[in-house]
Structure 1
Amino acid sequence: MPLRVLIVEDEMLLALDLEDMLLDAGHDVVGQASDMGQALAIADKLDGQFDVAIMDVNLARGTNGIDTAAALRERWNVPSLFVSGNLDELTRDRAMQWKPIGFVGKPYSEREVLSSLVAVPPVL
């Protein structure tokens, strides 16, 4: 079943690559954000009606993916898949309290990202 996905990534080329990968796999991309403010604005506009956020840890304008994932989980119960080059033990421990669906390190393969999304229940 196709998922509705929000991409939260501050590197435009990586965000576009993720979008292509998701669209090719049959998923819907509800938006792209490069920082926490943009991500929350998109989520608010959609009233949280999407299935998952693919979340980088380090975002633009001094924001971070863990705080963004926390806000998405608290306000709309939307889980995140962390896709980052910064997934050390401390970062993973901080992120775990927000019940992410998983962690994928950069550089990643299409298979890694798509197989991690299989565990996401779609919003009905």
Structure 2
Amino acid sequence: MADPQRHILIVDDDDQIRRMLRRCFEDEGYRVSEATAQAGVDAALATGVDLMTLDLNLDGTDGLSIARAVRQNWDLPIIMITGKGDMIDRIVGLEIGADDYIAKPFHLREVLARVRSVLRRTAPQAAPAAAASAVARRLDNSIQFDGFTLDLDRRSLLGPDGDIRLTSGEFDLLALFARHPHRVLSRDRIMDLLKGHDWAPNDRSIDNQIARLRKLIETDAREPRLLKTVRGAGYSFTPLDLEA
């Protein structure tokens, strides 16, 4: 059973889907709130929410606008729900910083697995001393570079100052680069290597994800040292100290 203190907000204008998701989450011990528009979202967030599922196609309300508003004011994981053909919404959602996607129609078991995964990745971290000792230890199935530890099992990134939160798309892209260090990867090659992942990249989404990663791992994102642009060719991951 889940920690009963974890609070999930369901944002959907379909009564049947909200009831179905509520029953699924409450059966697992989660606390659940519902909303159909921005006002309901704001009221629920004021009580403390650990994760939000957000239908992008709300009747009379732009789900992406809700996501932007939440991102501006709250550090909250968002799982976006969209139709299979809504590629533009998926791309824009990735740029906003969605933590995961679920395409309709979905299975409740898949929804629950994704919620658990995102909650694990975004759970409060251990005390600083414990985090520091975790860096010192050799972690299984991890990649260490320049003071960072990329844990491939937990899908987390630990930096010199503690945990760094990544969306699913950002993690997948950084893991790809870390597995191919000091090699120039074109956008086409990156898209090819990312096939089979939950998010569907294109040139624009890759460029935006790299820009976000640079802000998280570079000392100066304007003069990147780890994720370099190779003019006319693509990108290269160039850590000074890499251990895998």
TM-score band by shorter chain is: 0.7 to 0.9
CA distance in 1 between counterparts of 2:109 and 2:76 reads 22
Root mean square deviation, CA, Å: 1.9
Aligned to 1:19: 22
Q: Deviations over 1:39-88 (max 9, x none)?
A: 123223x1xx211111001123x212211112112111112101232652
Counterpart amino acid of 1:59?
Answer: L
> Which structure carries more strand by proportion?
2
Aligned to 1:41: 43
Query: TM-score scaled to structure 2, two decimals?
Result: 0.45
Counterpart amino acid of 1:5?
Answer: I
1:4 aligns with 2:7: yes
Larger Rg, first or second structure (1 or 2): 2
Q: SS where residue 96 of structure 2 aligns?
A: coil
CA distance in 2 between counterparts of 1:74 and 1:105 reads 25
Contact 2:24 2:108 in 1 (8 A): yes
Aligned to 1:69: 67
Which consecutive residues of structure 1, in runs of 5 or more, have no partner in the other structure?
Answer: none
Q: SS where residue 81 of structure 2 aligns?
A: strand
Q: Deviations over 1:11-56 (max 9, x none)?
A: 0111010000011122111x21111222123223x1xx21111100
1:107 aligns with 2:110: no
How has the CA–CA distance of structure 1 residues 5 and 42 changed in structure 2, closer, same or farther, with 3 Å as cutoff? same
- The correspondence of residues 71-110 of structure 1 with structure 2, limited to 5 A, is 71-85=69-83, 88-110=86-108
Which consecutive residues of structure 2, in runs of 5 or more, have no partner in the other structure?
Answer: 126-244
Q: SS where residue 119 of structure 1 aligns?
A: helix
Structure 1 runs of 4+ with >6 Å offset:
none
% of aligned pairs identical? 26
Contact 1:8 1:39 in 2 (8 A): yes
Contact 1:69 1:79 in 2 (8 A): no
Query: TM-score scaled to structure 1, two decimals?
Result: 0.84
Larger relative CO (CA 8 A, sep 6+): 1 or 2?
1
Q: SS where residue 111 of structure 1 aligns?
A: helix
CA distance in 2 between counterparts of 1:35 and 1:87 reads 23
Q: SS where residue 13 of structure 2 aligns?
A: coil
How has the CA–CA distance of structure 1 residues 74 and 85 changed in structure 2, closer, same or farther, with 3 Å as cutoff? same
CA distance in 2 between counterparts of 1:38 and 1:84 reads 20
